[in-house]
Structures are given as C-alpha cells and as structure tokens.
Amino acid sequence: MEFSRRQALPKLNLQTSKRDDLSQLQHVCLESLTRQ
C-alpha cells in the first residue's frame, strides 16, 4: 500500500526519500556520538 502510494505520487516520493536520508544521517550521527 505504501509503495503504490509512492509510485502514484513521485513528488511526494522525493520528499519522503529526502526525509529518509535525513533520519538516516541523524541515526549515523547518534551512533558515532554514542561510540565516543
């Protein structure tokens, strides 16, 4: 269901992928911080 919705709205898909990248970046930053 989520996938088909992303297929139907490519513009929204771009925004969500950007947000996913941001959350992934935050996750990596948090991981490196906790490792120190």
Q: What is the pLDDT along the chain (36 residues), one digit of tens a residue?
A: 455 655 566 666 667 777 888 888 888 888 888 887
Q: How far is CA 25 from its chain centroid?
A: 9
Instruction: Give buried/exposed letters for 1-10 (b at 16+ CB in 10 A, else e).
Output: eeeeeeeeee
